[in-house]
């Protein structure tokens, strides 16, 4: 009987500790925004694949839709620059995660706040790669808008 309880306890503990791929992906993505709130680029870099890209779908002043590429290094520099009294807070409102082997995408609507004041909303689409060190973000494409947010 004691042996049965030991096996049962170990099985439950193992199941409780094992994160699913979906949970690992959410944790990876959330680490980016935790790092952003803390101005901690080291925290962010830990979950980025070395050749990670950042792109935004924007409308130019003529209303033409463009795909704008932003160097990840510039974004990290901006995020890592602490501005006294300024907190950037991107709040994800949902996660739609699709996985195929070592590749995943996550569609994550968000609301962006500066010092708890709403600024804009949109969607982030993350492309992730499963490496021997866990899920890493290979690329991010986002949209941004100020209307039709809620």
**CA–CA gap between residue 33 and residue 40 (Å, rounded):** 10
Domain boundary assignment for the chain: 19-143
Q: Give yes or no for residue 5 having a pLDDT over 60.
A: no
Fold of 19-143: Nuclear Transport Factor 2; Chain: A, (3.10.450)
CA distance 31 to 92: 12
Chain CA centroid to CA 32, Å: 5
DSSP string for residues in 87-125: -EEEEE---EEEEETTEEEEEEEEEEEETTEEEEEEEEE
Mean of the per-residue pLDDT values of the chain: 90
What does pTM read for this prediction? 0.84
Q: Which residues pair with 88 in a beta bridge?
A: 114
Residues of the chain with pLDDT > 70, as a percent, come to: 88
Whether the predicted pLDDT of 117 surpasses 50 = yes
**Could you tell me what percent of the chain has a pLDDT over 90?**
81
Task: Count the Cβ atoms, other than its own, within 10 Å of residue 33.
Answer: 19
Higher pLDDT, 150 or 144: 144
The per-residue pLDDT for range 21-74, each reduced to its tens digit, is 999 999 999 999 999 999 999 999 999 999 999 999 999 999 999 999 999 999
End-to-end distance of the chain based on CA atoms, in angstroms?
56
């Amino acid at each position: 009987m004691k042996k049965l309880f030991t096996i049962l306890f170990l099985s439950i503990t193992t199941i409780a500790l094992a994160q699913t791929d979906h949970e690992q992906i959410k944790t990876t993505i959330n680490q980016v925004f935790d790092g952003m709130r803390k101005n901690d680029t080291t925290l962010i870099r830990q979950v980025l694949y070395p050749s990670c890209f950042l792109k935004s779908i924007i409308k130019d002043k003529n209303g033409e839709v463009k795909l704008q590429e932003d160097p990840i290094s510039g974004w990290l520099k901006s995020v890592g620059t602490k501005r006294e009294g300024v907190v950037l807070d991107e709040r994800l409102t949902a996660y739609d995660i699709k996985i195929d082997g070592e590749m995943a995408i996550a569609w994550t609507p968000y609301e962006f706040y500066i010092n708890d004041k709403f600024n804009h909303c949109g969607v982030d689409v993350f492309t992730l790669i499963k490496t021997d060190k866990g899920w890493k973000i290979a690329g991010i494409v986002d949209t941004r808008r100020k209307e039709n947010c809620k």
